Amino acid sequence: MSEAALAATPVEAESRPDARGKPVPRAAAGPALGTRVALGLLLPVGLALGWELAVRSGLAQGRLVPPPSRILDTFTALAETGELWLHLWATLWRVGVGFALGAGAGILFGALSGISEASRRLLDPTLQALRAIPSIAWVPLFILWLGIFEASKVALIAVGVFFPVYLGVAGAIMSVDRKLVEVGRVFRLTRVQQVRRILLPAILPETIIALRSGLGLGFMFVVAAEFMGASEGLGYLLVDGQQMGKPDRILAAIIAFAILGKIADAVLVAATRPLLGWQDVSRGRL
């Protein structure tokens, strides 16, 4: 491996040479976007249509699990009054702020634990013990410290996001191939150059997976957060539907959580895709 090859920024090539040096086009990236979306919707739409037909034909009552048509009517009513958008924005704002704080802290402490043996011995035992505490156990403490308003809710979400990001970043750094680091030393790269050319490309894939896991947990923790005296948010909509005995509102809130979480995950994947453009992976074509 030459120094120029090490210093070059990896990019995804459009073609690769064969044994005789002639370029061979890369395989197609996969189905078109519309085809992928249609395939992903096939299972939930099929289940929804099946349940709708079962209720309409009298095979099921649909009292505790309303048919999709009734849930759609609930969505429409909530959207027309503006209540749906209020709940969506409140939940999205809390998750966004909590994710930013938790992910930032997770990356920082994960980097410290992964790079420094002394930092890992100092921080990791305490953080692993805190990770075992159930999320609901933090609720009374955060209410006591921060009150029942937004600060306590955001803090709870940040705690949920922190631990998967911390573990992912620390594990990714500790799993970097030792031979890559030794190659950097052979070429006399500075510490900053080693981080930029060797460490970052090696840990980015696992770090992004950790961020996606943290984002998913953020949506899980926001439900517990919105049980803490919230007057808006999808978690509040869940509680309101339970107290009023309206399963259609409960299922509408659950479906809204699923859609909002999927959109947030897709945005995160799209935003980080340019960072992984140099990868040449099989993508399941085995």
pLDDT in tens, 82-92: 999 999 999 99
Residue 282: predicted pLDDT: 65
In a domain, residue 219? The reply is yes
In a domain, residue 150? The reply is yes
Residues contacting 130, CB < 8 A, separation 6+:
163
Burial profile 140-151: b = 16 or more Cβ within 10 angstroms, e = fewer: eebbeebeeeee
In a domain, residue 239? The reply is yes
pLDDT tier at 34, thresholds 50, 70, 90:
confident
Q: Residue 112's domain spans which residues?
A: 86-276
Six-digit token string for 109: 């402490």
Q: Could you give the number of structural domains in the chain? A: 1
Between residues 13 and 152, the one the model is more confident about: 152
Six-digit token string for 246: 């309206």
Report the pLDDT averaged over residues 164-174.
93
In a domain, residue 195? The reply is yes
Determine whether 86 is exposed, middle or buried from the number of CB atoms within 10 Å of its CB (0-12, 13-18, 19+): middle
Q: What is the CATH number of the domain that holds 254?
A: 1.10.3720.10
In a domain, residue 78? The reply is no
pLDDT of 163 over the 80 cut: yes
In a domain, residue 44? The reply is no
Q: 94 and 233 in contact (C-beta within 8 Å)?
A: yes
- Collapsing DSSP to helix, strand or coil, 228 comes out as coil
In a domain, residue 117? The reply is yes
Give the pLDDT confidence of 213-265 residue by residue, as tens digits: 999 999 999 988 887 777 888 999 998 888 888 899 999 999 999 999 999 99
In a domain, residue 6? The reply is no
Cβ neighbour number for residue 55 with a 10 Å cutoff: 19
